[in-house]
Structure 1
Amino acid sequence: MKSSNNENKSVLYLLIIALGLQLFLLYFFKYQNQNLSIKNIDIEITGNLFNLIIYLIAEILLLIVLLNPKIKINLKLLSSLLVSSYLFLLIGFISTKINLPFNSIYVFGQFGNKLFTGLCYTLYQLVLLSFIFSVILGMRKNQNRIFIKSILFSVIIMVLILIYSLFFILSREERVKLQPLDSKTSYTVVVLGAAVWSENKPSPILAARVDKAIELLKNHNIKKLFLTGSNAPGELSEAEVALNYLKSKNVSFEDIVTESNTTSTTEQIQFLKLRLSETEQQNLIVVSDSFHLVRIKEISKFHKLKIKTIASELKLSFFSELYNTIREALALTVFWFFAI
């Protein structure tokens, strides 16, 4: 009996250590995903804080089990779940470093490789939450179908987190739409790319962003303009289409830089961090849609990049606005937890 208890304690100690290591690994991967050193870590930013809270809950639950021998939990199930979470986390990270064969798939504005990476990280989070609920449910007398119940509760928590992200965006949308500009300051303006329609025409979203940039060029002291965004198969890049649209408006401005390699908002913020001087970073305006700006702010905080945000004048139908806001909430959640 004592031998069995000692074995259980040893397994619990290993699980506690493995969880701590996994948290460090997650933070390391997050900063690697953004081409940053782990030395730049800031625990207080939203996503990192969420990660820490989840792991602290898991560690505290295991300590409770360790200190109370009367609690009998399924250590084989917990070990299997933790190993599975490690596998999904590692595969998700590795998938960002190799060329996968899924880029011929293009769904909801995302290439297949990124969708695969997002799926792996999501499964990692699902399994980790299932680990926590397996411990909680294992403390009860009724231990029937613990695995199924833990999966169900984990899905519910993930949906609640998504809903929180949605309200986070809605509550902050107004304050980031039009931030005050100093008439004496020279600014660098960045227009983030958006969809290109057939015959290389800018989508209404992209056109509205460029129109707002034109307004800034006319009314403020703008020293440089960046147009960003790559292309879907068979199209001009978003940056090139934006430039052509700008020229069609007879805008006379010399210092325009087009960047046609980035495929996502996170990559565009990375580009700005690397490309701009410290002075340009201090006086940086990012132009996008109101529902997009909150996530841009969160990504910029991760990179310790201070930006001003200006929303385009885009008018969408209720359902289009709702669709785009939900899509942004999903993207924000993924960035918070995994920095992708």
Structure 2
Amino acid sequence: MSANTKSSGKGRKTNFAGRLLRDLILLGLLVTAGWFGWVYHEIQSTAHVDNAQHADAIAVFGAAEYAGRPSPVLHARLDKAVSLYDRDIAPVIVTLGGGSDKDSGKTEGGVGRDYLLAQGVPFDHIIAETHSFDTEQQVARLKEIAESQHFDKIVVVSDGTHLFRIQLLCERAGLDTYTSPREVIGHLDDMDAAQRMMHEMLSYTALRFNLHISWLHRWLAGKGD
């Protein structure tokens, strides 16, 4: 076999390998784009539909509290829970969320309970969970409460973009839930809205595929739940 023939054969193999690698990269990009397009659509769909219906309890997922007062986001979530309670959607409201390293003993669940009491919800119609620190822990504690109180169906209240991930966590925990987004407050600029959506898309993807990537978890933790 001549040197030119050998060189031509190697060239064809190199070209084939290059085309195969290019096609695999393109396929990977298409699959990734399709996946995130689907996740975006599902997050948006869940965020804009109120599925609340008669249930055994309403669960309010925690958000920041400031020295014993609910943050605007937590305020809006609690107001949504009160409106559902007043419509007789469920007889009990569960407030979820512990404290942070920066506060002085206050908890999101406790602040939520105090706010509900001020809105006229009876004390014995409120269950305050005060030990969880993220969405996953809140779902785990909600499952414990549901089992101890024999709750069959629960309406979960949070930010609209948060609910698709919450729904998956609740399904995995064996909880039967209806999603109910809080009212939108103020105006999110495009950058903030994009960051929140990216946070939820990555969080859902990591959860869905059981990814344990340290840098991703650190980044998500920095963005909050």
TM-score by length of 2: 0.70
Find the partner of 1:289 among 140, 145, 159.
159
RMSD, aligned α-carbons: 3.3
Find the partner of 1:207 among 54, 75, 79.
75
Q: What residue in structure 1 maps to residue 205 of structure 2?
A: 333
2:144 aligned with 1:271, yes or no? no
The number of residues matched between the two structures is 191
Change (3 A) 1:277 1:167: same
SS in 1 for 2:91: strand
CA distance, structure 2, for counterparts of residue 256 and residue 159 of structure 1? 48
- Greater percentage in helix: 1
Q: What residue in structure 1 maps to residue 60 of structure 2?
A: 191
CA distance, structure 2, for counterparts of residue 223 and residue 187 of structure 1? 7
Query: Pairwise mapping of residues 1-340 of structure 1 onto structure 2 (< 5 A)?
Result: 141=14, 161=32, 164-165=35-36, 167-175=38-46, 177-182=49-54, 186-197=55-66, 199-235=67-103, 236-277=106-147, 280-315=150-185, 316-319=187-190, 320-338=192-210
Task: State the percentage of identical aligned residues.
Answer: 23
Indicate if the aligned counterparts of 2:52 and 2:155 stay in contact, CA closer than 8 A: no
Q: Deviations over 1:215-261 (max 9, x none)?
A: 11111142222111112113221112222322333433522111111
Change (3 A) 1:170 1:274: same
Q: Deviations over 1:22-79 (max 9, x none)?
A: xxxxxxxxxxxxxxxxxxxxxxxxxxxxxxxxxxxxxxxxxxxxxxxxxxxxxxxxxx
CA distance, structure 1, for counterparts of residue 35 and residue 176 of structure 2? 24
TM-score by length of 1: 0.48
SS in 2 for 1:307: strand
5+ unaligned residues in a row in structure 2: which ranges?
1-12, 213-225
Cα offset, 1:169, TM superposition: 3.7
CA distance, structure 2, for counterparts of residue 336 and residue 271 of structure 1? 20
Q: Deviations over 1:272-324 (max 9, x none)?
A: 22331398443211111110111111112222322111111123424333322
SS in 1 for 2:92: strand
Q: Deviations over 1:139-159 (max 9, x none)?
A: x63799xxxx99xx6xx9599
Where relative contact order (Cα < 8 A, 6+ residues apart) is larger, the structure is 2
